[in-house]
């Protein structure tokens, strides 16, 4: 399937980054996004324990045909605890629950949010294929997977999109997934494209983040690594100023330059930032400046792995540690 060049990640309207906005504020942002021409919304079973899907569903009432709607299953909150479960029965039940919460009769793109390593990937993908045959979903996606897992999944059903983390400071996709998806005509949907706020220059002091903000437990925001990473920001700001855009827009322009199949999905709680991010699609940034951006912020210049050991064990995407 052909996705719009950029989408809107809806997670932080309900989940993960401290105290989310009120449902009314979230709804206003989503409606403003639709009015601004955003035509790809990305949500998930996990986000807010289902509340994010309900919010997106409210925004889409009367406007369903305007967007490519994506959601995910295989990872959910049970009694407030995140559970990865890729059994076919679980996935089929979650597809139905997503449809109910969203208030739609089909979801255009449905991802396996995480590969449950206790379940063969073919069984999980086979369940989503049956949901596709039933008309409940339009296409199958995978999230945080390796090329090897993608290839195994493709033996069972066509895969339309892979959603992996990709940004200037997270280059794991360049260990094979960027080229594999390009070769097969698969969308590479880049989540956290502005590096969880780092590349939008919006973090400040990580110690001041809300108590439940997930970045508090991420190594790159630790007291050890943050000073090294923050030292890159003055040059980053200068590059954005030279390009005549915001730091976030420069990060998005760099990603868009990586291939026509690369689809960033920045998230925000600010209507102004949403509009600014969306405008990056039409930016023209000098190739030489983008190359300098890629040299300034790269695996070799960023301190710390992207996840702590526990969350790292949950993902399947290639790592630089394994490649070393």
CB contact set of 100 (below 8 Å; sequence gap of 6+): none
What is the rounded radius of gyration, in angstroms, for the C-alpha atoms of the chain?
A: 19
Q: Are 199 and 235 in contact (CB under 8 A)?
A: no
3-state DSSP helix/strand/coil % of the chain, to nearest 5? 45, 15, 40
- Closest by CA position to 212, among listed 9, 1, 13, 16: 16
Q: Are 43 and 70 in contact (CB under 8 A)?
A: yes
DSSP letter (8 states) at residue 264: E
For tokens 């069972």, the residue is 156
Active-site amino acid positions = 47
Enumerate the β-bridge partners of residue 141.
Answer: 111, 161
């Amino acid at each position: 399937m052909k996705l719009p060049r950029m989408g809107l990640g809806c997670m932080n309207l309900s989940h993960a980054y401290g105290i989310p906005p009120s449902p009314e504020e979230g709804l206003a942002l989503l409606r403003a996004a639709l009015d601004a021409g955003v035509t790809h919304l990305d949500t998930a079973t996990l986000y807010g324990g289902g509340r994010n899907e309900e919010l997106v569903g409210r925004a889409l009432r009367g406007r369903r045909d305007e967007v490519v709607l994506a959601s995910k299953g295989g990872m959910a909150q049970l009694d407030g605890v995140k559970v990865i479960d890729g059994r076919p029965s679980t996935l089929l039940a979650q597809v139905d629950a997503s449809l109910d919460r969203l208030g739609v009769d089909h979801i255009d793109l449905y991802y396996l949010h995480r590969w449950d390593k206790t379940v063969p990937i073919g069984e999980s993908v086979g369940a989503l294929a049956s949901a596709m045959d039933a008309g409940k979903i339009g296409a199958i996606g995978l999230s945080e997977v390796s090329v090897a897992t993608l290839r195994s999944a493709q033996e069972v059903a066509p895969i339309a999109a892979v959603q992996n983390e990709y940004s200037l400071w997270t280059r794991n996709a360049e260990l094979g997934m960027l080229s594999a998806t390009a070769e097969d005509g698969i969308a590479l949907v880049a989540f956290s494209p502005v590096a969880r706020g780092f590349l939008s220059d919006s973090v400040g002091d990580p110690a001041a983040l809300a108590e439940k903000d997930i970045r508090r437990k991420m190594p790159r925001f630790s007291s050890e690594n943050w000073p090294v990473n923050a030292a890159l920001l003055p040059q980053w700001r200068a590059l954005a100023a030279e390009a005549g855009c915001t730091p976030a827009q420069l990060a998005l322009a760099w990603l868009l330059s990586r291939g026509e199949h690369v689809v960033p999905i920045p998230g925000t709680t600010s209507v102004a930032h949403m509009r600014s991010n969306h405008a990056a699609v039409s930016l023209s940034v000098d190739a030489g400046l983008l190359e300098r951006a890629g040299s300034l912020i790269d695996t070799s210049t960023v301190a710390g792995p992207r996840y702590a050991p526990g969350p790292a064990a949950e993902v399947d995407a290639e790592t630089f540690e394994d490649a070393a």
